[in-house]
């Protein structure tokens, strides 16, 4: 009887190549970008009820003009519908369409919730079905569609089930923002502000000077400042993501604003949008930075002022010490037992800490309460 154990170690690398492209008026039937110039092909197109109400006629006209066969699946809109049942609906549509997954990528047209759902479904259908992301929201353009995360919510947890799976192409068209509500523009500006606060002081200055007008004009003025805001946000995000797509390095600057916010967002669902919850997290950690001497009072004032200009909150009833400590505990669990919490250092830099205490959180909440009172008095 053999007594020696044997083992084999397999070491492999996976190449990841995907394209992030900007375009304009992507639903113009004369624009070949959406189908990559493959006129006469077949496509399954997935969108949501909100996008369908606004752009459904254009999507159908585009498909009729450019595709020999197509199917349009419309999913319910919103974070509360980001559940497994939506994934199953997409899988059933892929199967019914008899998709040739080698040549017929699924097209996802919608916000970050929709593209996360479709990406997750494609990642598990025959283990790899290509898809194309077409974000219709600002948060989709600068955040959800430039990385490789997919997923849906599970029980009380945000994005608790999902995969790392790159879209073959992400097509970014700011013309969609013309019909976006102001609150949803603010929602995306929160993720832009994230990049500014932890790594790009020049981007913060752009937001300080031009963010309010970009919000009001929904990025349709096509000014140099607006283009710089979008470009710097995307470039900064990709710069952080590319060397660490699978998050093997757990200290990630792009986790800024995402330590407490998943718990706060889910506690307040459906009241808070994702970017609003992220901004609450950033306001809190800015206040923690003040408490620890990493951020000056003047720098914090500028940060809170810009948040206000961008239509973003700095306080919310769900920001209780109990919820924040629960969020920190959950974050620590999935960061391998350490907090690995990004804190701002001034404006445009950050440091990671592992020693945050309930006292830090209590002090930060007091600072935020004072800031909110001053903001209310100024208004």
Q: Which of 58, 82, 98, 149 is catalytic?
A: 149
What's the rounded Cα separation, in Å, for the pair 255 and 336?
Answer: 14
Helix (H) and strand (E) counts in the chain = 12, 10
What is the DSSP code string of 52-112? HHHHHHHHHHHHHHHEEEEEEEEEPPSGGG-SHHHHHHHHHHHHHHT--TTT--EEEEE-H
Beta strands in 295-379 (DSSP E): 341-344, 350-353
Both tokens assigned to 51: 């996008």
Asked about 149 being catalytic, the answer comes back as yes
What is the DSSP code string of 195-217? HHHHH-HHHHHHHHHHHHHHHHH
Residue whose token pair is 């500014």: 196
Q: 247: Cβ–Cβ under 8 A, 6 or more apart, which residues?
A: 164
Asked if 99 and 106 count as a contact pair (C-beta separation under 8 A), the reply is yes
Q: Which positions are catalytic?
A: 149
């Amino acid at each position: 009887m053999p007594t020696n154990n044997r083992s084999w170690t397999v070491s492999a690398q996976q190449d990841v190549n995907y394209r992030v492209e900007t375009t304009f008026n992507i639903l113009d039937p004369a624009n070949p970008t959406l189908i990559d110039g493959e006129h006469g092909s077949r496509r399954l197109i997935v969108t949501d009820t909100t996008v369908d109400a606004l752009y459904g006629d254009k999507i159908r006209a585009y498909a009729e003009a450019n595709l020999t066969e197509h199917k349009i699946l419309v999913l319910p809109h919103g974070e509360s519908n980001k559940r497994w049942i939506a994934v199953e609906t997409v899988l059933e549509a892929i199967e019914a369409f008899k998709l040739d997954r080698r040549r017929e990528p699924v097209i996802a047209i919608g916000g970050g919730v929709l593209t996360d759902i479709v990406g997750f479904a494609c990642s598990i259908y025959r283990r790899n079905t290509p898809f194309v992301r077409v974000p219709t929201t600002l948060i989709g353009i600068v955040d959800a569609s430039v990385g490789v995360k997919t997923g849906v919510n599970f029980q009380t947890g945000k994005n608790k089930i999902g995969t790392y799976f790159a879209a073959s192409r992400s097509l970014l068209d700011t013309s969609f923002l013309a019909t976006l509500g102001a609150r949803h523009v603010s929602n995306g500006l929160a993720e832009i502000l994230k990049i500014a606060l932890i790594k790009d002081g020049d981007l913060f200055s752009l937001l300080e000077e031009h963010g309010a007008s970009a919000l009001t004009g929904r990025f349709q003025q096509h000014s140099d400042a607006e283009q710089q805001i979008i470009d710097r946000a995307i470039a900064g995000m990709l710069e952080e993501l590319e060397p660490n797509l699978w998050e093997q390095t757990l200290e990630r600057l792009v986790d800024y604003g995402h330590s407490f916010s998943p718990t706060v967002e889910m506690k307040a669902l459906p009241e808070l949008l994702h970017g609003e919850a992220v901004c609450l997290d950033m306001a809190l950690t800015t206040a923690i930075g003040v408490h620890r001497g990493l951020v000056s009072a003047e720098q914090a004032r500028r940060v809170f002022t810009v948040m206000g200009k961008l239509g973003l909150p700095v306080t919310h009833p769900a920001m209780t010490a109990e919820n924040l400590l629960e969020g920190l505990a959950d974050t620590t669990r999935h960061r391998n037992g350490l907090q690995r919490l990004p804190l701002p250092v001034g404006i445009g830099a950050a440091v990671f800490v592992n020693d945050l205490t309930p006292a830090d959180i209590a002090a930060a909440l007091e600072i935020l309460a004072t800031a909110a009172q001053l903001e209310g008095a100024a208004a």
